[in-house]
Amino acid sequence: MPGIRRWSVLSLGLALPTAFFVLGPLGFLLWMGATQEGADFLERARDLELPRVVGQVALLATLTTAWAAALGVPLAWLTVRTDLPGRRLIHWLAPLPLAIPPYIGALVYQILLAPGGVLPNFLGVTSLPLNLYGVGGAAWVLGLFMSPYLYLLVSGALERTNPALEEVARGAGLGPRQVLRRVTLPLLRPALLAGGLVVFLYSWADFGVVSLLRVRTLTTIIYDYIQGTADWALPSALSILLTAITILVLLLQLRVLGRAGYTQIVGAVKPAPLVSLGAWRWPAFAYVGGMVTLTLLLPLGVLGYQASRLPAPAAFVLIQWPYFLNSLWTAVSGASLALLIALGVAWSEGRGRAWRVSGLLQVGYAIPGTVLGLGMAGFLHAALPGIYATSLALIVTYFVLYVTPACQSVKAALVQLHPSLEEAARSLGRGPLAAFWAVTLPLIKPGLLGGWILVFVLSMRELAATLIVRPPGFDTLPVRIWIYAMDVGPEPRAATLALILVLTIALPWAMMLSLRSRGIPPSG
């Protein structure tokens, strides 16, 4: 059909620049890493105790994943499937801690537990017997603030599971506990795996928490090298190592899911009957309340308390105002760019006649922020010196890092739209663009808004890549918070900025969570 050519031109026009900015940084790292001589690298790896570091990061990622699962999975089951008191409120509150970046979580626990902190002062001791600085503390913080990811994926899967499957199992003579063990949990495996993977890879590549809590990892070593020396070769080689292991884990997941990829049942006919908790109602409520306290109320309270100790807050905020604006406008630009490209990619791919660009985009999502920051800085320095060390570089970095979630949001919105709607508009005299404008766009608006907010929030809180790519003197809120916390410690200035950042993120994030539950009524 004429029109095929137009789609390919559109998708090619999207594919080429995107490929340039996604593959360029990777190519740079591979090229720089290759200049590192093998023997030389092995010697320096020994100096850095690389095997020990990798083992330590693996331990951290494993502990974090287990801790996040222990927190998020029971919470999901309790809110979706039981008569837990206040379950609707909890369902809305549980994903909210994602507005608190884990490095701010680390800051909160520093304020609370570090020597000279709130708790030691209250108890009248100089330091507590438990040590926050180390793998244990980092896993505690990361697991706590990553658990909402698992909650979101598992509660979504629980809502979509067809209750008839469980009823069949009951009919076959299984008791409620056996049904949970032999039907419900196995059906959740894809969601558990996907959620566990997100948490594992995030903590594996985390920079903010581990740097604040003084855990030596690949990312902190890379960052120290970039800061301390003009040497590109070793950090590039380490980045390739970091990325290679990330990709290995992703491939492993594909293998496991590939076989057990029973996609979840489409649209449950009716919601599953709620399990009565009976005497366990209030213990369960206490558990859930404890989680909300630890992940939401306590951090906000601690940040608020610490911020209130700031002398002359108005003057301080006024001085910091430009950094807030830096954060805001780069995140807004990054989110808008990502959404625009995502819309083009998702729309042309939805027509089934386009180049598959979204697979390429996913590469950017899989690369850790530290690595992409390094690659992007080096690549722009070599290929586009006009952009290097400008705020534009930051926007491109946010785009490459987070275009995939935007793409997923747009695709999810488009999938729900039956093609007959656009066809009906065409047969009523509208051209392809007019039909898109009059029918498709208004109907996918909530999805677009959700995707935009997601990228905005992620860019707004991005720390590692921003630290590396930003132009000299161009600080964002996360950068300021991190510098204060690293240089001076968990003091009121860092806490004040952290509070401002959290509130800025929380507002659109809460809006998106309410959007999630409100769909367009179906036409059929």
Partner 1 sequence: MELLALEDVTKRYAPDQPPAVDALTLTVEQGEILALLGPSGCGKTTTLRLIAGFEAPDSGRVVIRGETMAGGGRWVPPEGRGVAIVFQDYALFPHLTVAENVGFGLQHLGRSGRPERVRQILELVGLESFARRYPHELSGGQQQRVALARALAPAPAIILLDEPFSNLDADLRAQMREEVERILRDTGTTGIFVTHDQEEAFTLADRVGVLNQGRLEQLDTPEQIYHHPATPFVAEFVGAADFLPGLVTPYGIVTEMGVFANTEAWKTGEKVKVMLRPDDVAFVPSSFGDGMIIRRDFRGSETLYCIRLPSGQRVHSSQASSSLYPNGTRVRAEAHLIHVVTFPV
What residues make contact with partner 1 under the rule CB under 8 A? 1-3, 418, 420-421, 423-432, 435, 438-439, 442-443, 520-524
Alpha-carbon distances of 426 from 329, 420, 447, 522, rounded to whole Å: 38, 10, 23, 20
Minimum CB separation from partner 1 for residue 426, in Å?
4
Minimum CB separation from partner 1 for residue 353, in Å?
12
Neighbours of 359 (CB within 10 A): 10
User: Torsions phi, psi of 275, nearest 5?
Assistant: -80, 130
Nearest alpha-carbon partner for 376 in 395, 399, 391, 393: 393
Q: CB nearer to partner 1: give 43 or 423.
A: 423
Minimum CB separation from partner 1 for residue 505, in Å?
30
For helices 298-308 and 492-516, angle between their N-to-C axes, nearest 10 degrees = 140
Q: CB nearer to partner 1: give 193 or 438.
A: 438
Q: CB nearer to partner 1: give 315 or 428.
A: 428
Minimum CB separation from partner 1 for residue 269, in Å?
17
Neighbours of 313 (CB within 10 A): 14
CA distance 97 to 101: 8
Q: CB nearer to partner 1: give 16 or 428.
A: 428
Minimum CB separation from partner 1 for residue 434, in Å?
8
Cα angle 335, 340, 344 (rounded to 5 degrees) comes to 145
Minimum CB separation from partner 1 for residue 420, in Å?
4
Nearest alpha-carbon partner for 192 in 139, 248, 153: 153
Q: CB nearer to partner 1: give 276 or 523.
A: 523
Q: CB nearer to partner 1: give 46 or 418.
A: 418
Nearest alpha-carbon partner for 519 in 406, 418, 413: 413
Q: CB nearer to partner 1: give 168 or 441.
A: 441
Strand partners, 82: 275
* CB-count burial class (<10 Å; 0-12, 13-18, 19+) for 277: middle
CA distance 71 to 357: 36
Minimum CB separation from partner 1 for residue 352, in Å?
11
Q: Amino acid identity, residue 378? A: G
Q: CB nearer to partner 1: give 206 or 422.
A: 422
Minimum CB separation from partner 1 for residue 161, in Å?
26
